[in-house]
Amino acid sequence: MMRVLSVASECSPVVKTGGLADVVGALPAALAAEGVEMRVLLPGYPQVLRAVDRTGPVMEEWDLFGGPARVVSAQAAGLDLLVVEAPHLYDRPGSIYLGPDGHDWPDNPERFAGLCWMAARIGREGLGGWQPDVLHCHDWQGALVPEYCPRTPGERPGIVLTIHNMAFHGLAPPSRVGSLRLDPWRFHAEGYEYWGQISALKAGLLGADRLTTVSPTYAAELMRPEGGMGLDGVMRRRREVVSGILNGIDEDAWNPATDPAVAAPYDSPEGKAPNKAALRAEMGLADAPGPLCVVVSRLTSQKGLDMLLGVLPALLERGGQLALLGSGEAWMEQAFRDAAGPSVAVRIGYDEALSHRLLAGGDAILVPSRFEPCGLTQLYGLRYGTIPVVGFTGGLVDTVINASPAALAVGVATGLQFHPVTADALHGALSRLCDLWHDRDVWLRMQRNAMAQPVGWAPSAKAYARLYRDIAPVR
Ligand code: ADP
Ligand code: GLC
């Protein structure tokens, strides 16, 4: 049995701000089917400590970047967790990343260095007889692990780093080299130094045995200056060990036939009608002569929804409607609140159950992202027969079959892509959407194709298992 410790800052359903949590929460079950025993190492935020059943303290650390800590094994929602209890780092109210002023907690570098430090110790010493063969680290928050491990492969577990979002580097000023317990001799361009700063992400990109990201197209984009967010050179240097492994979704939680959150569970496109009526009633929307478009998203510039604000009048003119659920940047929240009206329903906030009802009731889901490493909501759209309209970028390229004339002719389309990712092209896509929606036979065919597209974890779980086997030390 291969043993893998997953090292992450979020894990669904215990603590989530985005898709990272879904992936980290889904991998253990998906990989169990491949003979991998995976535990997840998480920071002991208050919401984590409240959610878990602790089974005993297992590892003590007298000084974890400024205070005592211990790792406790715990269970929650069928997951085997290891929780780093370190009140000085994690016991604080509000967002897991941001202080009350809306900025990163000033000690974020130490907070996640603490997570990585404990991961490296578990890798070295094992824990209660459980010795991981591989440390699977996620994003910059897990990326310092190689810095804290012995540098000789074979003397440590294999290390995989998965990039869910290259936009976040985990930077810290050089004055923190000592407090982060980093080797000062590695503060240079071939090490973790990045334009005069410490970059946790760069440390991981250089130190891990294998790098993965969450779609093949994003893997290719990361090698190019336009997509590499300043680290494309490092990615090109490590090209040989990079792979793109597509995310799946939890097919039990996101199953329209059994979903307890939706008004009328269904297993074919015809079954969506009562859910659409219920959604309209819930959101205060009347019947309309065009498609009901939905959005479930963080409201940040990555997601491109500012472009939607500009082209919304054109959608409404064609008889379309919008129902949006999201939260994020204050100006965008306000702009959507201001756009609300008889054909535009806006809910600012985070609401898991409503997100399911939007997917069940919508005709189309809009994902106009400027960049998107993988994206999960377009996959929910496919499963729910809710046609995705997506920017041509990252995982959105890999998961949606565009309704081009050729794809329509052979009857394989599952959604609409627009290129380049601009407001004009989004405008064009929404206009195409309205045309297709009126052609009932074509629309139904697309919905059937979408619902039949595999979106589960099985193939990607196999790919991860293969990767782990490649780098696990021979014991
Ligand atoms: P990202 O991780 O970049 O935000 P993903 O598409 O990978 O994008 O994942 C987003 C996840 O967060 C999905 O599970 C989506 O349903 C969920 N989500 C985003 N915003 C909300 C919200 N306001 N309410 C409920 N769920 C949300
Ligand atoms: C990140 C990306 C998103 C991806 C998710 C899970 O949050 O923005 O595209 O689906 O991670 O990998």
- Judged against a pLDDT cut of 80, whether residue 153 lies above it is answered with no
Q: How far is the CA of 165 from the centre of ligand 1 (A)?
A: 14
Distance CA 414, CA 411 (A): 9
Taking CA atoms, 173 is separated from 143, 234, 265, 301, in Å, by 17, 20, 52, 26
CA angle 321, 322, 328 (to 5 degrees): 170
Q: Which ligand is nearest to the CA of 326?
A: 1
Q: Which atom of ligand 1 is nearest to the CA of 367?
A: 6
CA angle 161, 92, 183 (to 5 degrees): 40
Confidence at 55, pLDDT banded by 50, 70, 90: confident
Break the chain into its structural domains and give their ranges.
2-248+458-471, 269-452
Q: In this predicted structure, what is the pLDDT of residue 269? A: 98
Q: How far is the CA of 272 from the centre of ligand 2 (A)?
A: 27
pLDDT tens figures, 225-261: 999 999 999 999 999 999 999 999 999 999 999 999 9
Torsions phi, psi for 222 (to 5 deg): -65, -20
Question: Out of 2.30.110.10, 3.40.50.2000, 3.40.50.300, 3.40.50.150, which CATH number does the structure's domain 2-248+458-471 have?
Answer: 3.40.50.2000
Q: Which atom of ligand 1 is nearest to the CA of 22?
A: 14
The structure's pTM equals 0.97
Confidence at 147, pLDDT banded by 50, 70, 90: very high
Q: Which atom of ligand 1 is nearest to the CA of 372?
A: 3
Count Cα atoms within 13 angstroms, Cβ side, for 144: 29
Tell me if 296 CB under 6 Å of ligand 1.
yes
pLDDT tens figures, 398-430: 999 999 999 999 999 999 999 999 999 999 999
Q: How far is the CA of 156 from the centre of ligand 1 (A)?
A: 35
- Judged against a pLDDT cut of 90, whether residue 313 lies above it is answered with yes
**Residues in the ligand 2 pocket, defined by CB under 6 Å:** 18-20, 23, 164-165, 214, 247, 372-376, 395
Q: How many of the other CB atoms lie within 10 Å of CB of 130?
A: 15
Question: Amino acid letter at 344?
Answer: V
Q: Which ligand is nearest to the CA of 164?
A: 2
Q: Which helix (H) or strand (E) holds 24?
A: helix 19-32
Torsions phi, psi for 241 (to 5 deg): -110, 10
Asked if the domains at 2-248+458-471 and 269-452 fall in one CATH topology, the answer is: yes
CATH code, 269-452: 3.40.50.2000
Torsions phi, psi for 184 (to 5 deg): -60, -25
Tokens linked to 168? 């976040």
Q: How far is the CA of 376 from the centre of ligand 1 (A)?
A: 7
Chain centre distance of CA 157? 25
Tell me if 351 CB under 6 Å of ligand 1.
yes
pLDDT tens figures, 158-207: 999 999 999 999 999 999 999 999 999 999 999 999 999 999 999 999 99
Task: Quote the mean pLDDT of the chain.
Answer: 97
Q: How far is the CA of 126 from the centre of ligand 2 (A)?
A: 30
Torsions phi, psi for 450 (to 5 deg): -60, -50
Q: In this predicted structure, what is the pLDDT of residue 230? A: 97
Contacts of 335 (CB under 8 A, 6+ apart): 306, 309
Q: Average of pLDDT values for 16-23?
A: 96
Confidence at 54, pLDDT banded by 50, 70, 90: confident
Q: In this predicted structure, what is the pLDDT of residue 475? A: 73
End-to-end CA distance of the chain: 12
Distance CA 102, CA 95 (A): 9
Q: Which atom of ligand 1 is nearest to the CA of 20?
A: 2
Q: In this predicted structure, what is the pLDDT of residue 249? A: 96
Tell me if 21 CB under 6 Å of ligand 1.
no
